[in-house]
Amino acid sequence: MVAEKGTEPLTLQELLELKIDASNFMDNVAVAKAIKLQIGEFKPEIGIICGSGLTPIGEQLEKAIIVPYSQIPGFPRAEVPGHTAALAFGELEGKKIMCMLGRFHPYEYNMDLTLCSMPVRIMHLLGVQTLIVSNAAGAINRNFEFGDLMLIKDQIFLPGLAGYSPIVKLKDPHFGNCFVSMHSAYDKSLRTLAKKVAKDIDLKLHEGIYVMSGGPQYESPAEVMLYKTVGADALGMSTCHEVTVARQCGIRVVGFSLITNIGNLDADNAAEVTHDEVLDVAKFAANHATKFVRQLVKELDDYTVPPLLDKKTKERMPMYVHEF
Ligand SMILES: O=P(O)(O)O[C@@H]1C[C@H](O)[C@@H](CO)O1
């Protein structure tokens, strides 16, 4: 729980010294406030989360303001190679973007999905209405090749099915309804737009189901077979917890996977995958992923989600919320 301090707004330094509990609503507000102190009047409308090796997507922002995670209370450091520990705020095709240049994988943080999805709640508090989420993934579908992109049609959230939900600890009603519908989690009209954009720029874009395992170990061939049997097309270790929270906040979502390796289905075949290979493929394919995102952003229509904090609530809130 954040400390209160008379009627004076807390300074950035004071906010940075707070011990943040990601499941406490006012602590989330304090995190958003600390960011706001660093971005001034900038109000993002579109959020982007860059997957492993996909930070070039965020590096194309114009007039960028970079906020390192070390300057955000409660944010861990995002230490997986291929991720940069910073938020980028800037413009792309005239739209205002907030981009996570490094994400928090649950396997890095003791499967604390509430913490790992906090940036999505912060996006919402700062005004984000639409989220573009990306990841590096292994192919299960045999029609996929290295470097292909797969538009995510739906997800299988294995940790969530096992009770590791990012919203299970959120008791404050300000977070929104805990019985979040995951029907149409990946917005149909945005998927239609993404397919049109891909066609326009002559980009091969598959569509399929993403499955998230807990990681960090890669899957055994028998596990890849299990996921194939349940209908998954690509596998990874992220995204689903972020999308669940986005839906709880009412943010609409479009997502894609960059296929960095082909999941091995044969236990007698020693085909191994390493994170270095994942990054190598991401490096050569980041170019077309970047082009795709730019065009998608350009063609996104306006969208409005009611803010979490209504006027009345703001009036009752302590000083660190006051100017929201
Ligand atoms: O952040 P993403 O989901 O792109 O990262 C993938 C999944 C693992 O963290 C890692 C495995 O190589 O890359």
Read off φ and ψ for residue 219, nearest 5 degrees: -75, 150
CA-274 nearest atom, ligand 1: 12
pTM as predicted:
0.94
pLDDT, tens digit, 9 for 90 and up, residues 182-229: 999 999 999 999 999 999 999 999 999 999 999 999 999 999 999 999
Give nearest CA residue, ligand 1 atom 7: 237
Q: State how many domains the chain has.
A: 1
Q: State yes or no: is 1 an active-site residue.
A: no
CA distance 138 to 158: 16
CA-275 nearest atom, ligand 1: 12
- The one-letter code for the residue type at 29 is V
Q: Pseudo-torsion of CA 83, 234, 251, 189, nearest 10°?
A: 130
Domain residues for 216? 4-320
CA distance 143 to 262: 10
Q: Is the ipTM of this complex over 0.90?
A: yes
Query: Could you tell me the pLDDT band of residue 318, with boundaries at 50, 70 and 90?
Result: low
Q: Cβ(300) to ligand 1 under 6 A? A: no
* Pairing assessment for the beta strands 95-100 and 205-212 based on DSSP bridges: unpaired
Which pLDDT score is estimated for 303?
A: 79
CA distance 43 to 28: 17
pLDDT, tens digit, 9 for 90 and up, residues 43-63: 999 999 999 999 999 999 999
Q: Which of 48, 49, 52 has the most ligand 1 atoms within 8 A of CB, as the residue to mutate?
A: 52
Q: Which of 120, 157, 210, 237 has the most ligand 1 atoms within 8 A of CB, as the residue to mutate?
A: 237
CA distance 238 to 135: 7
Closest C-alpha to 141, from 133, 127, 151, 126? 151
Does 136 carry a binding-site annotation? yes
Average pLDDT over residues 138-144: 97
Q: Cβ(176) to ligand 1 under 6 A? A: no
CATH of the domain at 168: 3.40.50.1580
Which pLDDT score is estimated for 81?
A: 87
Q: State yes or no: is 183 an active-site residue.
A: no
